[in-house]
Each structure stands twice: as C-alpha cells, then as structure tokens.
Amino acid sequence: MTNILIIYTGGTIGMVNDPATGALMPFDFKQIKENVPELSRLEYNLSVHSFDPLIDSSNMTPAIWVELAELIKREYDNYEGFVILHGSDTMSFTASALSFMLENLSKPVVFTGSQLPIGEIRTDAKENIITALEIAATRQNGLAMVPEVCVYFDYQLFRGNRSIKYNSEKFEAFRSPNYPVMAEAGVHLRFNQNYILPVPSSALQLQTRFNPNIGVLKMYPGISVQAVEAITESPVEAIILEAFGSGNVPTAGWFIERLKRAIDAGKIIVDITQCKRGSVQLGVYETSKQLQEIGVLSGFDMTYEATVTKLMYVLGLELPLSETRRLIETPLRGELTPM
C-alpha cells in the first residue's frame, strides 16, 4: 500500500454547510473518506494532518511555510507523497517557497484546493483531491514520477514555482505562463516527463531561514520621485522592479540615479516583467540597457510569486553579496529560464 500524507492548512476546499445555520464551516478532514467516498477505491493508506487553527490563505506567512516544510521533513521517510490542501489565493507563493526550502526533494509535494467548498453539489474539490492523490502516489521504476513541489488544479499539473493564480471565478484558476504543464488529467493521467525534474541522488536538505525584508517597485507612466524613493531609500535589502515589457523602465536621469544609489548602498534590485508571459531581456532596448550597466539583476521569466520567495530564500542564506547576486540569476529549482 502507498502511504500518502494529506496536510490540510485551511481554505475553501474544506468547507461544508452547517445544517443549523447554513454558514460555511470547516469539516474534520480525519473523516475525509466519508466526505469523498471515492477515496475508498484508491489503494492508499491516507493519513491526515490538520493545522490548528486553520489558516485563511491571505494570512499565510514565512513562519507557516517553515512549519509546513518541517512537517514534511519530519514525516519524509514515512510517506511516498504529500498532498497539501491550501487556499488558492496564495497557493503559488507557498508552493514556490517550499520548492526552495526542500532541496533535493525526491517525493511529490502536490498542492491543491478548490473554488467551491467540498460540500457544494458542483464542487471542484473532489476531483482535485482525488487526482492530486494519484499524482502523489504515481511511481515509475520505483521512483516518484514527479519529485517536485507542484500545483494541481482543474485537470492540469504545474510546477509550483511556475504557477500563478489568474482567475478567481473559474475552476481553471491557475496557469503556468512561461513553462509547460507537467501533467494533464483526461481519460488518462498523462505526464510530460520532458518537463519534470529528475529524481535527485542526494538526501533531502531543509532550509528554513527566510528573510522577508524586500520591497516592490511597480512601474507606471508618470511615477514620481517620491514614490520611487519610498522604496529605494527604505531599509529593505532587496527590491523587485516590476518593469514594462521585456524589462524596460523610464530613462530619466533621476530615476536611474535613484536605482544606482540603492545598489551602491548594497541593495539588490531584480527586474521582472509586468507581463504575464515573456522574459526580461536587459540591454535589448535603450530603456533597459542602463539598468544592466548599473547592476540591476534579471529575473528572466520568473513569476512575481517565485521572485518574492526566491529572494526571501537566498537572502536567508546570508551569503556574500556576490554569491547572493549569482544565485538570484541562476535556476535553482526550475523557476527560471536563463536567456
């Protein structure tokens, strides 16, 4: 029998109607087979760990990421795979964070959730749970088919640090704009092995030090000196620069000077695009060439969620500045495609 640990953090997926009040309330996931009877047909040994108290995903923090990662590390030898039930709003942040924390991961960690509570007639929760469990249990030649942190939602499996939530109203809530899906669930569960990382040969390593001291500078036409300085002169250690197109920004002297002043003070600035699809290409246009010259780093095709969590992770390593800068532009868990 395959042993799978279900970790319920909270979120819409675990809600049922209270018969007395009609209000939504979390159900006891230890009784999951009563609510999803189809699970009894799967030949898995299922264990459930529920967070107490349950967490609305809008309240997710690095401290909770650490709690999740430590739980997986502690139970790592007891299970073949892990399914994490999580609110969809910040699921991509948590999946990205865990991908960096769990180095040399050789077992599936599958995030899923739902847009409708499990107690609703038209819920998407049951299919998402059942298929996430199947993915977590699938092995080939004795090894996990997907030795990664990933997100399963609405018949598609995404690399966790490549996923984004793009729709709050459709069952198709997630996309992976710059990386192909790793599996699709139709009549058959088909894995795209060319897009899945190989099983590592080294033992699992856990990194739990996250440094959240980062800021975000989002570009818009007419941005003022005061708005820029509010970020560049704040006591943050790194700044995410959300630029136009392929990494472009205004060429005004005052703007470039504010960025250069921040870099000279030891701050790291990472350029990512506001576009959902595409990559930063520093130096292709005059409007990004100056960024390259002053030491702004390229985020290439990283999502905003992956950039945030990767910066927290790399800063937490407390490495020399030159090595920190190198790691940011280096793919660590398949989170970026270098040009």
Mapping DSSP to helix (H, G, I), strand (E, B) and coil, where does residue 295 land?
Answer: coil
State whether the Cα torsion 25-31-37-43 is positive or negative.
Answer: positive
Q: Which of 57, 252, 259, 245 is nearest to 168 (CA)?
A: 57
Count of helix runs (H) and strand runs (E) in the chain: 9, 20
3-state secondary structure of 133: helix
Which of 286, 334, 282 is CA-nearest to residue 306?
334
3-state secondary structure of 276: coil
Catalytic residue list: 12
Q: How far is CA 187 from the centre of its chain?
A: 28
CA dist 235 and 54 (Å) reads 33
Whether the CB-CB separation of 65 and 97 falls below 8 Å is answered with yes
| Cα three-residue angle 186-28-43, rounded to 5 degrees | 45
Q: Is residue 69 within 8 Å of residue 98, measured between CB atoms?
A: yes
CA-CA distance, 54 to 176, in Å (whole number)?
28
